[in-house]
Amino acid sequence: MKMKKVLSLGLSVLMCATLLAGCGSDKNEATSAEGKTLKIAGLNGGYGTAGWEAVVKAFEEKTGAKVELQLEKNIADVLRPVITSGKDVPDLIYLSVGSEGGLVDTMIQEKAITEITDVLDMKVYGEDIKVKDKLIPGFTSSFSTSPYGDGKLYLAPFTYDPCGLFYNAGLFKEKGWKVPTTWDEMWELGDKAKKEGISLFTYPTTGYFDAFFSALLNETAGPDAYKKAMEYDVDTWKSADVKKAFEIVGKLAKYTHPDTVTNATTDKAFTKNQQLILDNKALFCPNGTWLPTEMAKAPRADGFSWGFTALPKVTADGDSYSSTFSEQVYIPSKAKEVDLAKTFITFIYSDEAAKLFVEKAGTVLPTTTASGFIPEKVKDESGKEIDNEKKLFYSIYDNGAKSDIVGFKAVEAIPGVTLLTDKGILYGSVNAVVNGTMSVDEWYNQVVEAVGKYAEK
Amino acid sequence: MNKKKQKRNFVLICLAPAVILFTVFMIYPTINVFLMSTLKWGGLSGNKTFIGFANFISLFKDMNFIRSCQNTIFLIAIVTIVTLALAIIFASILVREKIKGQNFFRVIFYIPNILSVVVISAIFTAIYDPASGLINGFISLFKPENWETIKFIGNESIVIYSVAGALIWQAIGYYMVMYMASMSSIPEHLYEAASLEGAGKLQQFFSITLPLVWDNIRTTLTFFIISTINLSFLMTKILTTGGPNGASETVLGYLYNQAYTNSSYGYAMAIGAVVFIFSFILSAVVNKATEREVLER
C-alpha cells in the first residue's frame, strides 16, 4: 500500500519534470571567461558559415578573447525578441539592410545602432594602415552604411559583390551572337532570340531589381541625379531621365520569359528562374557574384559557361553601370562589448581575414587587396580543378564599367506605404508590368506619389 | 457551513489555473493589441508615440488594405461554400451507398488534413508549375505544341482561385469524416419509409439527411470560417507570398508585412483589431442566419 503511494508520487514527479524538458538553450554556453566574450550573431545565407568560423577562430587565437558565434538561416526571426527585450543583445550582427524580416531596417529607423565613425581612423588589426585607407572608396559614403545622410558611419560594409547580367557565354559563342553593349543592340538580340524560342530576359524575384534599377538610373540620369533620387528628391524623380529608366524596364518586360512571374511569386522558387539561363530558355538574368556557387549543383545545357556583363549603355557614348551590392555588419546600441566589437571589425578588413573569407566561403571583402586573394582555380563538383569564375566577375570594372552603390536614405516609415522591398511599389510592381496588368505610366506615377509622401516627412 | 466554504474554495482552486492561463494568454494579448493600435511604433525599441485613432483612419483610406480584405472575404466565401458542399455530398454518398472500401476512402480523404501547410504548398507548387506541372502537363497532352501554359500563380486574375483550390483540397477530408459520423447515426428506417412513399435519393437527401445533421453543420461552419482566416494567411505566405503585386494578399498577410517589413507595428495592430472585431461579427451573423429549430428524431 505504501509502495503504491510512493510509486504514484514518483511517477507524478517524473511527469512534472518533463514539463521542464522544453527549457534549455540552443546556444553553446561559454565554458571559460578568459579575457572577454564577444557575441556575434548573423545570417547563414549564400556564403554559409565556414568563412566566419575560420575568422572567429583566428581572432580568438590572436586576442585571447572568446567569441560566441551564432549563424542561423532565419536569424532575423531569432534576433527580434532578443532585440525587443534588450537583454543579451549580440555585440555584432551580420545582416544586411533590406534583408528578410526587416530587422536591420527597423533598427536603423529606431536609431538602435551604435555609431562607428571612429573605426575608420583605427588601424586595421595587425597592419599599419588605417581602415578608411584600406576600404575601397565609395563603400562608406553610401546610404546603406551611412543611412541618415549625416556623414557618420553606422554600418560597416562587409562584402563586395558586383551585380550585373549573367548569361551563358557558351551559347553566345555557339550562335555567333555578340553581347549587347547598348540597349538598342539588346532589343535586336531579343528579337533574334525570340525566333529561336529563347526569351531575352528573366529575373529571380523583383527584389533583385534594386541592384539592376539603381545601375539603370545611373545610366539614364547620371550619378548626381541618382544621389538626389536616393534622398527622395521629388523633382529628380519627376524628370524625364528618371522616367526613361522605367520605360526601359517596361520594354524589357515584353521580352521576359513567361514563367518568370510565377516562379518569382512562389516562396523560394526563384532558383527556377535562374535555372532558365542554365537551360538556354532565357538569355540574361540580373544577379550577384554568388550565383555560380548557388547554382553549383544544378544541371545545365552542354557547353555552358558563365558570362557576366554590366548593363548595356543607353547611348553609344554613355556609361555602362554595374551596381555593387554590399552586405553589412553593425553594433546594436545595447551591445555590451562595443570596443571589442570595433576591434573585431578592424580585424575583418585585414589581409589575413580576407584570405580566410575568400578561401573558405568565397566572400570578398571590400578592401583594396581582397579581390587579389581570389584563388585562380577551384574544384568543381567532380573534384576536377577549373578556372575560378569569380576572378572574371571582379574584373568587370576593369573593362570600363562604372560602379554605383545600392541604397536609399533611411526615412521614417509610412504606414500603408511600402516603396522599397521586393513587394513594394518600386520593385514589386515589376511583376504586374511583366504580366501586362499595370502600365509603365501607372507604375511610374505610383512611385512618384510614394516618393512625395516620404519627402513630406 | 465549513463544508460549504471548503467546497467553494476547492472549486475556485480547481478553476484557477485555467482562468489564469486564459487571462494571460488570451485576454491580456487582446487588450494589448487594442492598446498598441493607438501607437506609432517601429516594433523594437521603446519609442512609442500615442496617436489615438489615426491608424484606423489611414487604414480605411488604404487601398492595399481594402484589397486584402476583399481577397480574404472572397477566400472565406468560396472555400467555405465549396468545401462544405463537397464534404456533405461525399459524406452522404459514402454513408448511403454501399460502396466497397468505405474505410479506405475515409483514410484517403482525410490524409490532406494532417499535412502541414508547408508540405501542401510544396505539393501545389509542383501541381501548378507553369513549365512541367501536373495540370499543365496533363492539358498539354491534348493541345498543340505552341499552346501557352496556364500560369496558376503568375496570373493575377486566377491566383486567388489557385489558393482556394489548395485550401479546399486540404479541408474536405476533415469535414467529410465528421459529417459521415453524424450521418451514420440517422436511423435507416426513416429512409425506408421515405422510399416507400416514393421519394427519390435526392429528395431523401434534402428532406431527411440535411435537416438532421444541420446542427452539426452549423457548428462546423462557424469554426471553419475562423480557421480559414488563419489558413489563408499561411497558404498565401508560402504558396504565393501575397501574389504577383499583392493580387493574393490576405488581411493577415498585410498585417505581417506592415509590422515587420514596413516597421509600422502600431498600424499592424490596428489591422489586427479590425480583424478581431470582424471575426466576432461574422461568427455572430453566421450563427444567427443558420438558426433552425432542432428537429426531434
CATH code for the domain of A223? 3.40.190.10
Taking 90 as the threshold, does the pLDDT of residue B2 lie above it? no
- Shortest CB distance from B42 goes to which of A110, A261, A428? A110
- If asked whether residues A201 and A315 sit together in one domain, one would say yes
Distance between A46 CA and the closest CA of chain B, angstroms: 20
How many CB contacts within 8 angstroms connect chain A with chain B?
Answer: 126
A420 reaches B (C-beta below 8 A): no
Write down how long chain A is. 457
Contact predicate A379/A393, CB 8 Å? no
For residues A298 and A350, state if they share a domain. no
User: Do the Cβ atoms of A107 and B44 come within 8 Å?
Assistant: yes
Q: What is the ipTM of this complex?
A: 0.84
Query: Which single residue is written with the C-alpha cell 511517477?
Result: A11
pLDDT of A28 reads 39
> Measured between CB atoms, does A279 come within 8 Å of chain B?
no
Domain of residue A349 covers: 37-160+326-374
- Closest partner CB to B263 (pick from A106, A431, A432): A106
- Closest C-alpha to A156, from A177, A171, A175, A134: A134
In B, minimum Cα distance to A77 occurs at B260
Mark whether A197 and A240 lie in a shared domain.
yes
Contacts for A328 with CB less than 8 Å, ≥ 6 apart: A94, A95, A96, A97, A104, A144, A145, A155, A156, A157, A158
pLDDT for B252 = 95
A141 and A234 share one domain: no
Nearest CA of chain B to the CA of A431: how many Å? 6
* CB < 8 Å to B154, chain A: 258-265, 431, 435
Is the CB of A416 less than 8 angstroms away from the CB of B156?
A: no
Q: What is the nearest CA distance from A409 to chain B, expressed in angstroms?
A: 15
pLDDT at B294: 63
Look at B241 and A267 and tell me if their CB atoms are within 8 Å.
yes
Enumerate the β-bridge partners of residue A161: A325
How many structural domains is chain A composed of? 2
Give the CA distances from residue A10 to residues A6, A14, A20, in Å, rounded to whole numbers and listed in that order.
6, 6, 16
Q: Does residue A389 belong to any structural domain of this protein? A: no
Residue with cell 519534470: A17
pLDDT tens digits for range A227-266? 999 999 999 999 999 999 999 999 999 999 999 999 999 8
**Is A326 in the B-facing interface, judged by CB distances under 8 Å?**
no
Alpha-carbon distance of A68 to A83, in angstroms, equals 17
Nearest CA in chain A to B157: A437
C-alpha R_g of chain B: 24
CA–CA min distance A83, chain B (Å):
7
What's the one-letter identity of residue B70?
A: Q
Q: Is residue A101 domain-resident?
A: yes
Same domain as A439, residue A295: yes
Q: Which three cell numbers stand for residue A374?
A: 581570389
Separation in Å, CA of A207 to nearest CA in chain B = 12
**Do residues A173 and A209 both lie within one domain?**
yes
**Domains, chain B:** 56-289 (1.10.3720.10)
pLDDT for the residue numbered B76: 94
Residues of B in contact with A431 (CB under 8 A): 154, 244-245
- Banded pLDDT at B295 (limits 50, 70, 90): low
pLDDT at A26: 42
Alpha-carbon distance of A424 to A6, in angstroms, equals 64
Residue B209 clears pLDDT 50, i.e. is over it: yes
pLDDT, tens only, A131-167:
999 998 888 888 889 999 888 999 999 998 889 999 9
Q: Can you give the pLDDT at residue A25?
A: 46
Q: Residues A232, A233, A236, A237: is their CA dihedral positive or negative? A: positive
CA distance A259 to chain B (A): 6
Amino acid at A94: Y
The stretches of chain B forming alpha helices (DSSP H) are 2-22, 28-36, 54-61, 63-96, 102-114, 117-127, 134-140, 159-184, 188-196, 201-204, 210-239, 251-256, 265-289
The pLDDT tens digits for B71-124 are 999 999 999 999 999 999 999 888 888 788 888 888 999 999 999 999 999 999
A109, A261, A263: residue with CB nearest B42: A109
Kindly state whether residues A97 and A41 are assigned to the same domain.
yes
Angle, helices B159-184 vs B63-96, to 10°: value is 40
Please name the residues in contact with A71: beta carbons below 8 A apart, sequence gap of 6 or more. Answer: A41, A42, A43, A44, A49, A52, A94
| Cell numbers at B137, concatenated | 502537363
State the smallest CA–CA distance between residue B263 and chain A in angstroms.
5
Contacts of B244 in chain A (CB under 8 A): 261, 264-265, 431-432, 435
Amino acid at A261: V
Q: Could you tell me if A54 lies within 8 Å of chain B, comparing CB atoms?
A: no
Rounded to the nearest 5°, which phi and psi values hold at A288?
-115, 175
pLDDT for residue B157: 92
Task: Provide block-wise average pLDDT over 10 residues at a time, chain A (457 residues).
Answer: 83 76 46 69 87 94 92 92 90 89 88 93 92 87 88 92 92 94 95 94 93 94 92 94 95 94 90 94 92 86 91 91 91 93 94 91 88 80 74 80 88 89 90 94 95 89
> Which candidate in B38, B245, B250, B256 is best for mutational testing of the A interface (most A CBs within 10 A)?
B245
B127: chain A residues, CB-CB within 8 Å: none
* Interface list for chain B against chain A, based on CB atoms closer than 8 Å: 42-45, 47, 55, 58-59, 62, 64-65, 121, 125, 128-131, 148-149, 151-156, 159, 237-246, 257-258, 260-264, 266-267
φ, ψ (nearest 5 deg) of residue A123: -85, 145
Sign of CA dihedral A133, A139, A144, A149: positive
Return the pLDDT at B188: 87
List of chain B residues whose C-beta atoms are within 8 Å of the C-beta of residue A110: 42, 44-45, 47, 263
What does the block give as the cell for A74? Answer: 532565419
Compute CA distances B34 → B43, B58, B68, B178, B285, whole Å: 15, 16, 21, 36, 23
- B82 vs B73: CA distance, rounded Å: 14
The stretch B265-278 carries a mean pLDDT of: 94
**Mutation choice for A interface testing from B37, B263, B265 by most A CBs within 10 A:** B263
For residues A329-343, one letter each, b for 16 or more C-beta atoms within 10 angstroms of the residue's C-beta and e for the rest, the string is bbbbbbbebbebbbb
* SS3 per residue for chain A: CHHHHHHHHHHHHHHHHHHHHHCCCCCCCCCCCCCCEEEEEEECCCCCCHHHHHHHHHHHHHHCCEEEEEEECCHHHHHHHHHHHCCCCCCEEECCCCCCCCHHHHHHHCCCECCCHHHHHCECCCCCCEHHHHECCCCCCCCCCCCCCCCCCCEEECCCEEEEEEEEHHHHHHHCCCCCCEHHHHHHHHHHHHHCCCEEECCCCHHHHHHHHHHHHHHHHCHHHHHHHHCCCHHHHHCHHHHHHHHHHHHHHHCECCCHHHHHHCCCCHHHHHHHHHCCCEEEEEEECCHHHHCCCCCCCCCCCEEEECCCECCCCCCCEEEEECCEEECECCCCCHHHHHHHHHHHCCHHHHHHHHHHHCCCCCECCHHHHCCCEEECCCCCEEECHHHHHHCHHHHCCEEEECCCCCCCCECCECCCCCCCCCCCCHHHHHHCCCCHHHHHHHHHHHHHHHHHC
Please write the tens of the pLDDT for every residue from A309-350: 999 999 988 889 999 888 999 999 999 999 999 999 999 999
Give residue-wise pLDDT tens across range A394-403: 888 877 888 8
**Same domain (yes/no): A269, A348:** no
Residue A32: inside a domain, yes or no? no
Q: What is the pLDDT of residues B15-58, one digit of tens each?
A: 999 999 999 999 999 999 999 999 988 888 777 889 989 999 99
**Secondary structure (3-state) at B48:** coil
Mutate to test the interface with A, among B120, B146, B261, B267 (most CBs of A within 10 A): B261
Q: Name the residue among A335, A326, A263, A272 with its Cα closest to residue A299.
A: A272
**What is the rounded radius of gyration, in angstroms, for the C-alpha atoms of chain A?**
25
Contact A164, A289 (CB under 8 A): no
Give yes or no for residue B242 having a pLDDT over 70.
yes
Q: Are A319 and A313 in contact (CB under 8 A)?
A: yes
Residue A28: inside a domain, yes or no? no
- Quickly state the pLDDT bin for B171 (edges 50, 70, 90): very high
Residue A330: per-residue pLDDT? 95
Other C-beta atoms lying within 10 Å of the C-beta of residue A105 = 23
pLDDT at residue B293, as a whole number? 66
Cβ separation of B155 and A83 shorter than 8 Å? no
Cβ separation of B263 and A109 shorter than 8 Å?
yes
Please indicate, yes or no, whether residues A300 and A335 belong to a single structural domain of this protein: no
pLDDT the model gives residue A22 = 56
Task: State the nearest Cα–Cα gap between B228 and chain A, in angstroms.
Answer: 20
- Minimal Cβ distance to A266: which of B65, B125, B148: B125
User: Reduced to 3 states, what is the DSSP secondary structure of residue B187?
Assistant: coil
Tell me if residue B282 falls in helix, strand or coil: helix
Question: For all residues of chain B together, what is the average pLDDT?
Answer: 90
Identify all chain A residues contacting B163, using CB atoms and an 8 Å cutoff: none
Chain B nearest C-alpha distance from A159 (Å): 23
* Among A75, A95, A100, A266, the residue to mutate for chain B (most B Cβ within 10 A): A266
**Who's near B142: CB < 8 A, 6+ residues apart?**
none
Tell me if A21 is assigned to some domain: no
CB-based contact (8 Å) between A192 and chain B? no
- Cell numbers found for residue A195: 525566333
| Interatomic CA distance for residues B40 and A358, integer angstroms | 43
Nearest beta carbon to residue B130 from set A262, A428, A438: A262
Instruction: Provide the grid cell at B39.
Output: 501607437
- Do A127 and A254 reside in the same domain of the chain? no
**Which DSSP symbol is given to B147?**
P
DSSP-assigned beta bridge partners for residue B255? none
Same domain, A320 and A332: no
The grid cell for B286 is 453566421
* Burial tier of B200 (Cβ tally within 10 Å: 0-12, 13-18, 19+): exposed
* Calpha distance B191→B203 (Å, rounded): 10
Is residue A436 within 8 A of residue A353, CB to CB? The reply is no
In a domain, A385, yes or no: no
Q: Are residues A152 and A170 in the same domain?
A: no
